[in-house]
Amino acid sequence: MTFFAKTLGTVAALALSAGAAVADAALIYDLGGKFDKSFNEAGFNGAERYKAETGGNYRDIELQSEVQREQALRRFAEAGFNPIVTTGFSMSTPITAVAPEYPDTKFVTIDGYVDPEAHPNVLSVLFAEHEGSYLVGMMAAMASESDTVGFVGGMDIPLIRKFACGYAQGVLAVKPDAKVISNMTGTTPAAWNDPVKGSELAKAQISQGADVIYAAAGGTGLGVLQTAADEGILSIGVDSNQNYLHPGSVLTSMLKRVDVAVFDAMSAGPDLETGVIALGLANNGVGYALDDNNADLVSAEMKAAVDAAREQIIAGEISVHDYSSDDACPVLNF
């Protein structure tokens, strides 16, 4: 009987703790880990800001393998967490499988896209990478002395072409005669983690005259930034602020404010509005990084021009072509 009472007590306690968790948010990091100095870590920072500013609580998990995606989603949903925020485009497919089973739970896929008609309880957060890339493209063109700038992409997917296309438009807006050399590292996921190829691509672009190179290539980009620093030219980082990697060599970084997206989603709580939102310049979803490490590289004139362009894009006076809208780029051939 005592055993039965104890068991009953434990069950009740568990039920209570589960009940207490109802209002908590959950965060799932994509493969790559919480402290990747990039995408996922930005998500973590947003969640920490939510905790500090609102006093709310959240639970998180780092995925270790592909098979854990659905499992993690289900366990959080089962435990009553709401909303469940995920980073990385690879989470959108598992969400389509799990979301219909928990209609009262809100799911957020950052950088992924889920059809809002079919899944009314999912929020897809997309970024206007082309707008941010446009700004760093302008900076690249202004910093370039040879009027030749480079772009190194990771895996050749439409998302990366979107970066390249926005960048090229920014460059040509400042210097219509400038040359943009664009290279993709590969066509398999290995292209995200091949810094050796990144270095070789950077060297090849430098030998063709490039003196500013924008890398949107994950781990491969680290090789590009390294080579740029070794060869004494400028580079541009991506996703999170990478200026600190090689102070004095990284001109700026194109920021994707994953932290803003996570913070907003968690702050909205279970009443989160679902659908599709695009974070662009207007709502500070993308931008460029300015800190102590690149303060000497960015002139006042450069900053003024870029900030003016930012205002014009927000006001709709400049329209930056989005590669993913029609799978074509007016200024760059792939």
Partner 1 sequence: MDFNTVIQVLDSTIRLSTPLLLACLAGLFSERSGIVDIGLEGKMLIAAFFSAAVAFMTGSVWLGLLAGVVSSMALSAIHGLASITFRGNQIISGVALNFLASGLTVLIAQTWFSQGGRTPSLVGGARFSELTLPFADSLRPVPVLGPIYADLISGHSILVYVAFLLVPLTWWVMFRTRFGLRLRAVGEAPEAVDTAGVSVVGLRFASIAIAGVLCGLAGAYLATGLQAGFVREMTAGRGYIALAALIFAKWRPWYALGACLLFGFLQAVALRFQNIDLGAFVVPVQVMDALPYILTVVILAGFVGKAIPPRAGGEPYVKER
Which chain residues interact with partner 1 by CB under 8 A?
Answer: 32-33, 35-38, 40-41, 183-184, 186-187, 190, 193-197, 199-201, 203-204, 207, 219, 222-223, 226, 230, 245-246
Question: 129-143 and 300-315 are packed helices; what angle lies between their axes, rounded to 10 degrees?
Answer: 150
CB of 229 to partner 1, least distance (A): 9
For partner 1, which is the closer residue by CB, 194 or 264?
194
Give the bridge partners for 286, in sequence order.
Answer: 256
Tokens 């207490």, residue located: 20
CB of 231 to partner 1, least distance (A): 12
Instruction: For residue 71, give every residue at least 6 positions away whose Cβ sits within 8 Å of its Cβ, in sequence order, or none.
Output: none
For partner 1, which is the closer residue by CB, 219 or 269?
219
CB of 333 to partner 1, least distance (A): 9
CB of 8 to partner 1, least distance (A): 41
Angle at 279 between CA 103 and CA 224, to 5 degrees: 115
For partner 1, which is the closer residue by CB, 87 or 124?
87
For partner 1, which is the closer residue by CB, 40 or 274?
40
- SS3 state at 147: coil
CB of 137 to partner 1, least distance (A): 20
For partner 1, which is the closer residue by CB, 89 or 244?
244
For partner 1, which is the closer residue by CB, 14 or 190?
190
- SS3 state at 229: helix
Q: Is there a contact between 121 and 73 (Cβ–Cβ < 8 Å)?
A: no
Q: Which two tokens stand for residue 328?
A: 């074509």
For partner 1, which is the closer residue by CB, 226 or 253?
226
CB of 4 to partner 1, least distance (A): 43
Alpha helix segments (H runs only) across the chain = 2-20, 39-54, 68-78, 92-98, 129-143, 158-174, 195-207, 219-231, 258-268, 300-315, 323-326
Tokens 């993913």, residue located: 324
Q: Which two tokens stand for residue 287?
A: 């931008």
CB of 255 to partner 1, least distance (A): 17
